[in-house]
Chain A
Amino acid sequence: MQRSDEQTEAIIGRLLRVGVIAAAVFVAFGGILYLFKYGRMIADYSIFRGEPSDLKSLSGILSDALALRRRGLIQLGLVLLIATPIARVVFSVFAFMRQRDLAYAMITLAVLSLLVYSLLGGQ
């Protein structure tokens, strides 16, 4: 039990690191392209306009990023970042099931369904 807890911790540590690095790479890459194109325009965030609809939905962000659009690439990196803790929860469900810890597998599943609801539900 103790030993498998330690293995789980090592894998979770690696998962979080990989997720954050991947997100940072996308954000930095998109960011550099963004600055080359828009760097000389005036920065103004004092009035809230909301984002265009393609940057507000997962499918829109994905198609923008695949078309190598700058803001879409950054946004994809940010979505990867949001997905990192969620991936950690998914992994925890399996880890608790492997330990035959049914109570915690259920607890973790409850957290996961709330997260999925927030990200995908109620567009």
Chain B
Amino acid sequence: MNITEFTILTALGSVAAGFIGALTGLGGGVVIVPLLTLVFGVDIRYAVGTSLIAVIATSSGAAAAYVKEGYTNMRIGMFLEIATVLGALFGAWLAVIIPTSAITVIFGVFLLYSAYVSRQRPIVPPAGLKPDPLAERLGMNGSYPEPEGPRNYNVHSVPAGFSLMWVAGIFSGLLGIGSGALKVLAMDRIMKIPFKVSTTTSNFMIGVTAAASAGIYLKNGYIDPGLTMPVMLGALIGSLLGVRVLFNTKPKILRIIFSIVIALLAVEMIIKGFSGKM
């Protein structure tokens, strides 16, 4: 395959990855890495570097739209970014030193987990829970717009959420993904932040988390301009289309198909990792 054909095909694949990533809320990274490694035979180090760049593009593009809607809680985001950025630096450092077969297997396991999370329904936090005093002191409690007027919410279990965000950062730096699945777990389940606020705030944080490891990837030669160009542009276009569709549909069937596809990719990556073919 020559470079022009390769560029067109990876660009088209990345449009699809960005579109699906935005619709399901999992981000494009979990699709881009298997696409590049399994379909296009790209070395996982290039794939991870490329995916991380695409993740910054899609999350910043979407965040620009979301911030204006008033769901994003910038205080929660800034505070938790300390954890995700520390994790991302550690994760990117790990990515450079551990064998690629191990990264492939870890990626497969993370994909299986993402497939499982994408089938879960968002939890509606019970009313009347006592807020975390730390959240109160840090001014994290907020409100978001609903058709019937602004709705207040309180933030819970800040230390536990912070710790899990550190882990999310490690996976982001190690695998070149946004770790949306883990971030939503920390913010929805543990900190009991309403779904719309946690999804948009998590997306808001992904760019900063990824920027932390991108510096390390760049210095280690993981970011190839020729390969990253079509993937970044494709994923950006796909995610902007996805965000537009998301406002109008409830992609339930798509989620089911997506989680099955992700699970199959996961199994293939685990097998390849163990057989040493990556």
Contact = CB atoms under 8 A, between A and B. Distances in A.
Say whether A and B bind each other: yes
Interface of A: 5-6, 8-10, 12-14, 16-17, 19-20, 23-24, 27-28, 30-31, 34-35, 38-43, 45-51, 55-57, 70-72, 74-75, 78-79, 81-86, 88-89, 92, 101, 103-104, 107-108, 110-111, 114-115, 117-120, 122-123
Given A35-B4, A78-B225, A27 B232 contact: yes
B264 interface: no
Interface in B31-64: 36, 40-43, 45-46, 53, 56-57, 60-61, 63-64
25 contacts: A5-B74, A9-B70, A12-B67, A14-B64, A19-B60, A20-B236, A24-B57, A31-B229, A42-B1, A42-B3, A45-B40, A45-B224, A50-B221, A55-B221, A55-B225, A74-B229, A81-B53, A81-B57, A81-B232, A84-B207, A85-B60, A107-B82, A111-B85, A114-B82, A119-B214
A44 to B, nearest CB: 9
Contacts of B61: 16-17, 20
B193 to A, nearest CB: 17
A9 B45 CA distance: 35
B63 A16 contact: yes
Contact of A43 (B2, B215, B228): B2
A74 B232 CA distance: 11
B107 to A, nearest CB: 16
B68 A13 contact: yes
Given A16-B67, A114-B212, A115-B85, A107 B78 contact: yes
Contacts of B219: 56-57, 122-123
Interface of B: 1-7, 36, 40-43, 45-46, 53, 56-57, 60-61, 63-65, 67-68, 70, 72, 74-75, 78-79, 81-82, 85-86, 89, 92, 100, 138-139, 207-208, 210-216, 218-230, 232-233, 236
B64 A20 contact: yes
Contacts of A118: 89, 92, 211-216
Given A78-B53, A82-B56, A17 B215 contact: no
B3 A43 contact: yes
Contacts, number: 195
Top 9 closest pairs, chain A to chain B, by CB: A50-B221, A85-B207, A43-B6, A74-B225, A119-B215, A39-B4, A51-B221, A118-B215, A16-B64
B216 A92 contact: no
A110 B85 CA distance: 10
Contacts of B6: 43
A111 B229 contact: no
B225 A85 contact: no
B225 A71 contact: yes
Nearest to B83: A111
B40 to A, nearest CB: 7
Contacts of B92: 118
Contact of B3 (A35, A75, A108): A35
A117 B224 CA distance: 22
B45 A114 contact: no
Given A16-B67, A20-B57, A115-B85, A75 B207 contact: no
A47 B47 CA distance: 11
Contact of B220 (A34, A50, A103, A110): A50
A16 B64 CA distance: 6
Contact of A84 (B36, B60, B65, B212): B60
